[in-house]
């Protein structure tokens, strides 16, 4: 857990990193490269990564950072870490390159495998969603801080679909859900999907295709503290982080409006 002062410092740090991302976004040169897994990375990813890691070393000295862009720490070392930060310095790099505006910074504090604090910052709007275990979830926008969820949704359920990564299994799950529930689908990029669920403006996000721990860790604690759940169908339990394999198993994220989530959590 971190103190209120440390939370304020992290919020300021993510805003600074988000501003640096926007400088690259406004330029004509993203410096696009491709990693070994053929996923793209840009100058903005690296700039954000450097700013946040350097800042966290001052705000929370002694807590290591495990980042998507520096994931070369062997598990023999990571497994000894009781506390660590998991960072995606630019979640939605493909969205960034496509100039869709749907990208964010995702940062989570992990203690003994569980997310205990999480932050999602949207560089385009400057919004930040954050939460700490047992202390609620919040949104900061235009200098104002409000508690989540912001609204109790009405009408059909809103189901999120990833803009660039979705699978046939997810489509089939959505079809089954819509057989018993009135629902509409919305395409959204990056971890902003979790923020919308925590706000109450969206309700569901099934994810059964490739994703990683750093994509979901912050969103998990923010949704939980807003009254929702993220459940892995294989276990019926919330995700565990800092595993040897950083790939995230399938999960379904449920907003606070979904009251019978246990019925759907195990249906893939």
Using alpha carbons, select from 55, 54, 59, 113 the residue that is nearest to residue 84: 113
Q: Which residue has the tokens 């198993």?
A: 249
Q: What is the mean pLDDT of residues 119-135?
A: 98
CB 230 within 8 Å of CB 239: yes
Q: Residue ranges of the domains in the chain?
A: 4-147, 157-265
Q: Which residue has the tokens 């994810």?
A: 207
- For the ranges 43-57, 127-141, 177-191, the lowest mean pLDDT is seen at 177-191
- The per-residue pLDDT for 108 is 98
Which tokens go with 209? 């295709």
Q: What is the mean pLDDT of residues 124-147?
A: 96
Instruction: Note the pLDDT tens digit of each residue in 208-265.
Output: 988 899 999 999 999 999 999 999 998 889 999 999 999 999 999 999 888 888 887 7
Residue 119 has pLDDT above 90, yes or no: yes
- The per-residue pLDDT for 268 is 55
- The per-residue pLDDT for 72 is 76
User: Who has greater pLDDT, 164 or 208?
Assistant: 208
pTM given for the model: 0.94
CB 233 within 8 Å of CB 176: no
For the chain, percent helix, then strand, then coil, each to nearest 5? Answer: 30, 30, 40
User: Who has greater pLDDT, 186 or 129?
Assistant: 129
Q: Which CATH number fits domain 157-265: 3.40.50.300, 3.40.190.80, 3.40.50.2000, 1.10.300.10?
A: 3.40.190.80
- The per-residue pLDDT for 106 is 98
Q: How far apart are the first and last CA of the chain?
A: 34
Using alpha carbons, select from 185, 195, 187 the residue that is nearest to residue 165: 187
The model's confidence at residue 165, banded by pLDDT at 50, 70 and 90, is low
CB 209 within 8 Å of CB 163: no
Which tokens go with 64? 């290591």
- The per-residue pLDDT for 263 is 80
Which tokens go with 237? 């339990």
The model's confidence at residue 39, banded by pLDDT at 50, 70 and 90, is confident
Q: What is the mean pLDDT of residues 53-82?
A: 92
- CATH H-level superfamily of 4-147: Fructose-1,6-Bisphosphatase, subunit A, domain 1 (3.30.540.10)
Residue 144 has pLDDT above 90, yes or no: yes
DSSP string over 39-99: -EE-HHHHHHHHHHHHHHHHHSTT--EEETTB----HHHHTT-SEEEEEEEEE-HHHHHTT
Q: Calculate what percentage of the chain has a pLDDT beyond 70.
A: 97
CB 169 within 8 Å of CB 264: no
Q: Tell me the pLDDT of the chain averaged across its residues.
A: 92
Instruction: Note the pLDDT tens digit of each residue in 99-109.
Output: 999 999 999 99
Q: How far apart are CA 180 and CA 209, in angstroms?
A: 24
The model's confidence at residue 154, banded by pLDDT at 50, 70 and 90, is confident
Q: How many residues does the chain have?
A: 268
């Amino acid at each position: 857990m971190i103190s209120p002062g440390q939370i304020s410092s992290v919020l300021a740090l993510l805003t600074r990193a988000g501003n640096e991302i926007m400088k690259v976004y406004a330029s004509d040169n993203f410096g696009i490269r491709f990693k070994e897994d053929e996923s793209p990375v840009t100058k903005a990813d690296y700039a954000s990564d450097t700013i946040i890691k350097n800042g966290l070393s001052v705000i929370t000295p002694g807590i290591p950072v495990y980042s998507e862009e520096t994931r070369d720490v062997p598990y023999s070392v990571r497994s000894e870490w009781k506390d660590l930060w998991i960072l995606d310095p630019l979640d939605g790099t493909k969205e960034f390159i496509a100039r869709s505006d749907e990208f964010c910074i995702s940062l989570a504090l992990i203690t003994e495998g569980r997310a205990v604090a999480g932050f999602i910052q949207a560089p385009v709007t400057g919004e930040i969603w954050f939460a700490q275990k047992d202390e609620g979830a919040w949104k900061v926008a235009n200098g104002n801080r409000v508690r989540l969820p912001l609204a109790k949704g009405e009408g059909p359920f809103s189901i999120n679909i990833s803009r660039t990564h979705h699978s046939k299994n997810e489509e089939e799950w959505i079809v089954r859900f819509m057989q018993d529930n009135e629902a509409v689908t919305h395409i959204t990029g990056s971890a902003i999907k979790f923020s919308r669920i925590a706000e109450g403006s969206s309700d569901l996000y099934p994810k059964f295709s490739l994703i990683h721990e750093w994509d979901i860790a912050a969103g998990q604690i923010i949704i939980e503290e807003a009254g929702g759940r993220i459940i892995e169908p294989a276990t019926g339990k919330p995700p565990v982080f800092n595993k040897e394999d950083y790939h995230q198993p399938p999960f379904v994220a449920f907003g606070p409006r979904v009251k019978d989530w246990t019925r759907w959590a195990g249906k893939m």
